[in-house]
Amino acid sequence: MASIVRIRNRACVPVLTTEGTFLKPIADPEYLRKEVKCEYLPTFQRMHAHQTLASARRFVGFEPFSDLIPKDQLDFVLNASFNQTTEIFPDMLDIYCQPETRGIDTWRRLRNTREVTPDREQQASVEAPGGEKKKREVGRRGRPHKVVIPFRYNFVSIY
C-alpha cells in the first residue's frame, strides 16, 4: 500500500473532513476562484480570507461529528492512549496523554496540512509484482519530480 504524504495546505480553508462537515462555505466565493492571486491582494484582505484551524472549527456553518469530541473528563480519559492492563503504577500524566502526543495518527488535525496520495501510475510502478520497485520523490506541491536526462553533447568550445 502506498503511503500518504502530508504537505502544507496553502488554501484559504483548512481541510477538516475527518472532524466534521461545513454546512455552508466559509470563504467568500471570490477568494476561492483560481484567478485570484493572493500575492496581489492587500495584507488585510489576505488575512481576512485565510482561516486557521481554530477559526474554522468555531465557524457557525461547521458541524463537528458528535461521536468524536469528548463531552466530559471521562470521555477524555477514555480517549487517551493509556492501557491500564499493561501498567501497574502509572504516572498521572500517562492517564491524560492523548494519541496525538505520542505521534499516533487520529482524526484530529493538529497542523494545517492536506493529504496527498500518489498517482495511480506511480502506485502501479511501486507495487508491481516481480518488477523493480522505484520510488519517486514528491515535490513541495505534491507532484512527482520530473526525471531530467542530461544531454550527451560536449559543450567545450574550440578556439
Is the pLDDT higher at 57 or at 39?
57
Residue 154 has pLDDT above 70, yes or no: no
Q: How far is CA 14 from the centre of its chain?
A: 9
Residue 19 has pLDDT above 80, yes or no: yes
Reported as a pLDDT band with limits 50, 70 and 90, residue 143 is low
Reported as a pLDDT band with limits 50, 70 and 90, residue 32 is low
Mean pLDDT of the chain: 73
What is the per-residue burial (b if ≥16 Cβ within 10 Å, else e) of 124-146?
A: ebbeeeeeeeeeeebeeeeeeee
- Rounded Cα distance, 30 and 69, in Å: 33
- Rounded Cα distance, 30 and 45, in Å: 11
| Most confident by average pLDDT, 47-51, 87-91, 153-157 | 47-51
Tell me which residue has cell 458541524: 63
Ramachandran angles phi, psi of 66, nearest 5°: -70, -25
Q: What is the pLDDT averaged over residues 34-47?
A: 71
In this prediction, residue 133 carries a pLDDT of 47
123 in Cβ contact with 12 (< 8 Å): no
In this prediction, residue 159 carries a pLDDT of 45
C-alpha cell at 147: 526525471
Of 115, 7, 114, 111, which Cα lies nearest the Cα of 52? 111
Tell me which residue has cell 466559509: 26
Residue 8 has pLDDT above 80, yes or no: yes
Give 14's contacts (C-beta < 8 A, 6+ positions apart): 51, 52, 53, 56, 109, 112
Q: What is the pLDDT averaged over residues 109-124?
A: 74
Q: What percent of the chain has pLDDT over 70?
A: 65
What's the pLDDT tens digit per position in 69-108? 888 888 877 777 777 777 777 777 777 777 777 777 777 7
